[in-house]
Chain A
Amino acid sequence: MKTRSERPSLAKRFPSELLWNLTLRELRGKFKRSTLGWGWSIINPVVFLLIYSFVFSIVLRAVPPVGDPSGLHNYAFWLVCGLLPWTFLSNSVIGSAASLTANQDLVKKVYFPRSVLPTSAVLSWLVSFLIELGVLAVALLIVGNMVLPWLPLVLVITALLTAFVLGLALLISPLQAYFRDMEHLTTILLQVWFWATPIVWPVTLLEGTDRTFTVLGYNIIPAIPNLIRFNPVFQFVEAYRDVLYDLRVPSLGRWLGMLISATISILIGGLVFRRLEPRLAEEL
């Protein structure tokens, strides 16, 4: 095919208006037909929060870390600071993975940069995420955590996380169009990833314990706190906890970790998407 320059209308400028329209459509679709509408975006995490708080802090007696320097010591808040970014990630990945198949009518009938579909799915979940963060910030203020000065950092971290999530979305959505049952694999991998990340359980649970879990005759428990640092989601989750729960600036290492994982994710996702994009219409 000829170069893009010869078809000026669409290819020249990024269709930001289209992206916005599709995002709105996602949001409307999400909330239109439910009586509670936007309420769901709050009720969902609240129920989640109640269940996990009950199981972990009452049944399992997990002790959350004390906020340093904030002094906050509350499992529910500690949990929700990590849970919100995770739900944003997992909803976005699942939503964007389905976005191409769900819009196959569009993909097969009209030409437009297909990346706007997974991107709009991510953006629509970003909107929910921001609302949830707002609610969390208010709740934190009520219990005396002065988060207001930290909100700009929250936004910076959110921008990095969004880039990371977008990369995942661009990677997984075309794969799911090529292989329909990727869906199940995605769900399973997300489950594993969720529990492999200290979201509901504090890492401190593993530090200085005499617990053992032997793999090939080697106790892996002491290695976990070190290994876990290579889990990109861990860095993001901890960064949110740094600025919202502890009220401190994330360490340089953490910033670097987030920056690198966001960059790698976007690069890989972008490359894969670009490679698979031309044949999407016939594979769907």
Chain B
Amino acid sequence: MSRPAVVVDDVAKKFKLFHERHDSLKSTILSGRRARYEEFWALDGVSFEVREGSTIGLIGENGSGKSTLLKCMARILLPDRGRITISGKVSALLELGAGFHPDLSGRENVYLNASILGMSKKEVDLRFDDIVSFAGLERFIDTPVKNYSSGMYVRLGFSVAINVEPEVLLVDEILAVGDEEFQERSAEKFAELKRSGCTIVVVSHSLDQMRSICEEVVLLEHGKLVAIGKSGEIVDKYLGHVRDDRRAREAEERARYRALVPTDEPAEIPLVSCFELLDDEGHPTSTARSNDPLTVRVTYDARRIGEPVRVALSIYRTDGAHVVSLNTGYGIAMGEAGEDGSVTVDYRIPSLPLQTGVYEWSLALHDTDMLHIFERAERLRFDVTPGDFHDQRGLVDLGGEFVTRGSVS
């Protein structure tokens, strides 16, 4: 075991929640004290260690204290209790931008920023080209940074932060801003820094990214550390929490809705009377394991539509990624309708080829030529939980297997 590069020991940080913003002398003098406020612990007794050369992620919902913790590590905020020990040169890139001066050019800001991070002019001279080319801003380096797009701003900040050869790198929520190509290069740069022994602490809401770059993940909830461990496990655990919260919220909303709408006065009856997922045994469900069978059941009122219907289904991941769209390919004839005039269509998936994540089914009923939409059902959320095969990430499960044999000479 290598020694810890970062030790966070019982760190707590409180903020004042002002009921009225008093930052003026007048109000201070008039009220005889510095305004009324409530104390609020943004971090409460957080302890963990980061091994030298490892990458650790901080996750948690908005306001859980991730940025606050990172700022304490970067010495920008002073914890009210506990201590943080970091061995080595720290470089931090915190939420959007690295503190550039808007009126100065990119070039001047690079020098200024690097000297803030503790580099001498000579050292910056040596790395200047690397910094600029990594950021991909050669053409804009002499324009004032106020004219940069937010992505460009972050790229330059990130580029400076990683090129000062930090021993400990702190990054907050920046990877999501760059474009696809930049994200790829950052990932490469991360890998390179890791190889050179740099310890990285990263905050991100992109859980897939956390899974892939971090060895360990810390889960924060309301300023408290609730879990720490292997990245995959903790991310799944977090998704579990999120799911439970969402369920509770949805149930509450439904209850509220029901209370609002008197039952004897039904709202307009939708054309789709049923849109649900069924598990292996035919029970309605909203979770599915990777590689398990899953059935989507749709029931609609064919009589009210009065013409053949083409049923179209799509899956999106909640971050917007489009997984698949499909439809019946033909119009389902009126004759299929049962006695009550409704048609039930099942779409059977023998083995769900999706990876862990939160997805949504969408449903639309079209006419045969797909020119007109009769009805679009509310999206149906479902969670995919890990299957048996753990060592994979991404969107789909190809279902393949590895076969090894000696080479044929």
Contact = CB atoms under 8 A, between A and B. Distances in A.
Interface in A64-115: 103, 105-112
Contacts of B74: 110-111
Contacts of A283: 23
Contact of A109 (B24, B97, B120, B121): B97
B318 interface: no
Interface string B77-93: 11100011111111010
A29 interface: yes
A278 B78 contact: yes
B75 interface: yes
Contact of A179 (B24, B98, B100, B112): B24
A103 B109 CA distance: 13
Interface in A223-242: none
Nearest to B167: A9
A164 B116 CA distance: 26
Contact of A6 (B71, B76, B86, B116): B86
Contacts of A108: 76, 94, 99
A18 B116 contact: yes
Contacts of A190: none
A178 B111 CA distance: 30
Contacts of B38: none
Contacts of B115: 15, 17-18, 21
B86 A7 contact: yes
Interface in B19-52: 23-26, 28
Contacts of B23: 178-180, 283
Given A22-B112, A105-B99, A282-B15, A2 B85 contact: yes
6 contacts: A2-B86, A8-B89, A32-B103, A105-B100, A106-B99, A281-B77
A170 B32 CA distance: 25
B228 interface: no
B99 A179 contact: no
Given A1-B79, A18-B115, A6 B25 contact: no
A9 B90 contact: yes
Given A6-B86, A109-B97, A282-B77, A182 B25 contact: yes
A26 to B, nearest CB: 10
Contacts of A103: 99, 101
A181 interface: yes
Interface of B: 15, 23-26, 28, 71, 74-79, 83-90, 92, 94-95, 97-101, 103-104, 108, 111-113, 115-118, 120-121
Interface in A24-69: 25, 28-29, 32-33
B118 A179 contact: no
Contacts of A106: 99, 101, 116
Interface residues of A, number: 37
A177 B253 CA distance: 45
A278 B103 CA distance: 27
Given A8-B89, A10-B118, A109-B95, 16 more contacts: A1-B79, A2-B86, A7-B88, A18-B115, A21-B115, A25-B104, A108-B94, A109-B97, A110-B113, A111-B75, A111-B76, A111-B90, A112-B116, A179-B28, A180-B24, A181-B24
A185 B85 contact: no
Contact of A110 (B83, B85, B92): B92
Interface string A101-139: 001011111111000000000000000000000000000
Nearest to B93: A109
Given A110-B98, A111-B74, A281-B71, A17 B121 contact: yes
B15 A7 contact: no
A1 B117 contact: no
Contacts of B75: 1, 7, 111
A13 to B, nearest CB: 9
Contact of A29 (B24, B85, B99, B103): B103
Contacts of B112: 21-22, 25
Contact of A1 (B83, B92, B104, B111): B83
A109 B28 contact: no
Contacts of A105: 97, 99-100
A66 to B, nearest CB: 45
Given A9-B90, A21-B112, A181 B26 contact: yes
Nearest to B75: A111
Given A29-B103, A110-B92, A15 B118 contact: yes
A9 B118 contact: yes
A29 B104 CA distance: 9
Nearest to B120: A17
B301 to A, nearest CB: 58
Nearest to B104: A25
Contacts of B25: 179, 181-182, 185
Nearest to B7: A2
B79 to A, nearest CB: 7
Contacts of B95: 109
Nearest to B26: A181
Contacts of A110: 74, 76, 92, 98-99, 113, 116-117
Contacts of B94: 108-109
Given A108-B76, A111-B76, A2 B90 contact: no
B153 to A, nearest CB: 11
B84 A1 contact: yes
Contacts of B116: 15, 18, 106, 110, 112
B76 A281 contact: yes
A283 B104 CA distance: 26
Contacts of B98: 109-110
A279 B85 contact: no
A168 B99 CA distance: 26
Interface string A266-284: 0000000000001101110
A111 B84 CA distance: 15
Nearest to B172: A109
Contacts of A107: 76, 99
